[in-house]
Chains A and B, each alone.
Chain A
């Protein structure tokens, strides 16, 4: 009788524990979160020459933020069109600063630049995005994303209505980027491969190259660059509308040139308040846009993005 009572007690305890665990578990899996498993970042500075120091500082500021929030170097493709840190004109060798207070060195001691100098071309950028690289290209220069990757693309440089200049000699247009992103999405299909040894058809599931894509661009008339996207799961933001310039934020007397752009400066300032466990959403980021301070009108394109911006965490893309 006693053993029966004990057994019943144990059984009821177990049932209670299972019940207690089930609720948080169900809640965890039922959350409307992103379904990504890894993060990648492609950061591009497309302008060359010393007077475009601020574009390199923009890209390096994003690099540092993205690394700080947890994306490893192996998942970051950093493209810098010129060498600012070890440039003979740089009074502070090995350092790139984004403010005239020079409190934070963006270059640091541990940096890996994947494409540098003359390698930053429109062709290489599109090849990286679409994955159509030559077999000899090393792993660190490839975007090895899968269909559960969230990709963050950041571009900065000189641009205009639906184009961005690369190295002052060629341009990439909004249509090119939109088509490249469409190629990244397009791979979701089933491929039938009959072979001699196995006459029955083999089905190969080729997967897309992104789960969700966040495109940020800081250049003149930047919002035109994302106006041509037509692939699903793309969220885009830019620094200025059509017929409007984006301005630099701050000059430095010792370095001699402007060190950061306004839009990127305010975005990075907001990102400094984000850490790896932050629950801030993308809507919070976009709410901090202040056209009066930035001196241009940033825009957001949420129509291709399936989730609400209030449910999308900043760390879904940045960390």
Chain B
């Protein structure tokens, strides 16, 4: 009996070891620092946990109990959330500030729309619909990240599948995957969002690169945003990438307005020790090409104008510092010497002074010498309603409606559904395309106003994706334009760009009016009812009021009557 029991235990142990090794986890951390030409410093933290061999949950299995999941490094709270709602791909970003594409170029993380943005690819299923699980995902994430994501309800949810393609692989489930996307531009980001973010990391903020995440400095940055990205990589497993991006201004911190920076001057911390469970921890610094600078300590590796440092527990605390010894006070580059750093520049405005209608204008400038095709996405809540037939496109004042092709338009339903406009725009080389459209501002119901109604409503950013370079006559156009154009377009890939959010001022009522109306109508009713009631029921009788002589006579009569009454008793 003992031998049988021992055999069983050994078999179970072997099975467990096989299971553990089959589903092992990998954690890597990375920090990229990029000095920008206007003296600022862009920092991108990326913490990637890969759950090897795992697959997203098939939505058909939601009615049954899930198989047990064992996580060591993979964040448990997030993993449970993903399994509970059978989510294949999830992207959540919480950003604050306006990303200046012209001066800062493309961000390392493309999702830079201000406020909260959540988009999820989920497989469809019959018992619990995608919309129910979408609500569950929103509320669970709201609880996990202390953000008011519960407001991302049907009034802000759309399905722009053309722009938000999955970044990972969508497995072949019984029913196809669906996309749900929502933005909340008025969401604030603060320490309460960073706290649970850090708790999802294996080493928290105690060791490793995450130790640099000092909220007092991060939330002082000119632009900051945190992101959670979950995707399924076929053949590898489920990957969770927690990212934090920020743009700091060393010139502002420096007493003599120099753009020298170090980890200590920017974050007020250094990397003390490496995270023991991280397979690799790297700090990458992009080296400036056109000025003389010094960088300390000496990097482990310099390749392709990027210096790489390895975060190692053996060495002392890592404090990367870069300085420009030949410069004194930093001189901001003149606009003429600072061309835009992106392929296209986008500007979106709302023009008009009326509270009933306005004009939405979008200006796209093509900075390349070749034709660019760009996808334009507007997920506009019903607070601004488009008159699509008034859409006009102009290049240099000349009407060019052929450059706009509307792919899909979903009409907004007031009080319940937002508008979804997806269009393809063709931008001529080195030209500015102007789109103008009339919009109207609807009335809101009395209870739909926000508590600070006079501020207005934030409108979500438009997304522009430049996806095709060179135009319809692809290679011929490139040959004509020359080698310069070819060099420009080689290696370019579709990148999302977000416009800034807009604030729309809708007609706000006088909120004291219900009180005024109730008081006035109650008063009127009381007066009218009271008067009519008195008129109908009150009997008016004439009462003779006697003079002083008659008073004495009456008193004498009363005494006599009183005396006789006493006698009869």
Contact = CB atoms under 8 A, between A and B. Distances in A.
Contact of B450 (A113, A118, A166): A118
B451 A169 contact: yes
A116 interface: yes
B55 interface: no
Interface stretch (A138-146, A289-297, A308-316): A138-146
Given A111-B191, A138-B143, A94 B220 contact: yes
A300 to B, nearest CB: 32
B403 to A, nearest CB: 38
Interface stretch (A102-110, A237-245, A260-268): A102-110
B195 A136 contact: no
A317 to B, nearest CB: 24
Interface string B175-211: 0000000000001111110011000000001000000
Given A83-B188, A119-B148, A119-B150, A94 B219 contact: yes
Contact of B142 (A92, A93, A110, A138): A138
A194 interface: no
Contacts of B219: 85-86, 93-94
A176 interface: no
A141 B451 contact: no
A220 B218 CA distance: 37
Contacts of B148: 116-119
B529 interface: no
Contacts of A137: 139, 143, 150
B151 interface: yes
Nearest to A115: B148
B452 interface: yes
Interface string B218-240: 11100000000000000000000
Contacts of A108: 191
A168 interface: yes
Contacts of A49: 452
Contacts of A114: 146
A109 B195 contact: yes
B215 A138 contact: no
Contacts of B423: none
Interface in B157-175: none
B140 interface: yes
B136 interface: yes
B216 interface: yes
Contacts of A169: 451, 453, 511
Interface string B450-461: 111100000000
Contacts of A272: none
B144 interface: yes
A170 B214 CA distance: 37
B509 to A, nearest CB: 12
B120 to A, nearest CB: 15
Contacts of B205: 109
Contact of A93 (B136, B196, B220, B452): B220
B233 to A, nearest CB: 28
Contact of B190 (A48, A85, A138, A139): A85
B33 interface: no
A167 B454 CA distance: 13
A114 B135 CA distance: 18
A94 B451 contact: no
A119 B135 CA distance: 16
A110 B191 CA distance: 7
Contacts of B144: 138, 140
B433 interface: no
B195 A118 contact: no
A245 to B, nearest CB: 23
A108 B194 CA distance: 11
B450 A94 contact: no
Nearest to B205: A109
A118 B146 CA distance: 13
Given A94-B220, A109-B215, A116-B146, A83 B136 contact: no
Given A141-B143, A169-B511, A136 B135 contact: yes
A107 B191 contact: yes
Interface residues of B, number: 32
B215 A167 contact: no
A280 to B, nearest CB: 31
A86 B143 contact: no
A95 interface: yes
B96 interface: yes
Given A119-B150, A137-B139, A138-B140, A113 B220 contact: no
Contacts of A303: none
B215 A118 contact: no
Nearest to B221: A93
A118 B458 CA distance: 14
B146 A113 contact: yes
B143 A140 contact: yes
Interface string A111-142: 11110111100000000000000001111110
B219 to A, nearest CB: 5
A315 to B, nearest CB: 25
Contacts of B142: 138, 141
Nearest to B215: A94
B266 to A, nearest CB: 14
B216 A94 contact: yes
B355 to A, nearest CB: 20
Contacts of A168: 451-452
A75 to B, nearest CB: 15
Contacts of B140: 138
Contact of A116 (B192, B216, B450, B451): B192
Contacts of B196: 112
A252 to B, nearest CB: 17
Which of A48, A138, A141, A170 has most B Cβ within 10 Å? Answer: A138
| Most A-side CB within 10 Å, residue of B96, B135, B205, B220 | B220
Contacts of A111: 191-192, 195
Contacts of A116: 146, 148, 188, 192
Contacts of B511: 169
A109 B269 CA distance: 14
Interface in B411-452: 450-452
Nearest to B452: A48
A138 B144 CA distance: 8
A18 B551 CA distance: 100
Contacts of B146: 112-114, 116, 140
A95 B146 CA distance: 18
Interface string B74-99: 00000000000000000000001000
Contacts of A113: 146, 190, 192
Which A-B residue pairs are the 6 nearest by beta carbons? A138-B143, A86-B190, A167-B451, A93-B220, A169-B451, A136-B139
Given A109-B215, A139-B143, 20 more contacts: A85-B191, A86-B188, A86-B189, A86-B191, A92-B216, A94-B190, A94-B218, A95-B216, A107-B190, A107-B191, A111-B192, A113-B190, A118-B450, A118-B451, A119-B148, A137-B143, A140-B146, A141-B143, A168-B452, A170-B451
20 contacts: A48-B452, A83-B188, A86-B96, A94-B216, A94-B220, A107-B190, A107-B191, A108-B191, A109-B215, A113-B146, A114-B146, A117-B148, A117-B188, A118-B450, A119-B151, A137-B150, A138-B140, A139-B143, A140-B146, A141-B142
Interface of B: 96, 135-136, 139-140, 142-144, 146, 148, 150-151, 187-192, 195-196, 205, 214-216, 218-220, 450-453, 511
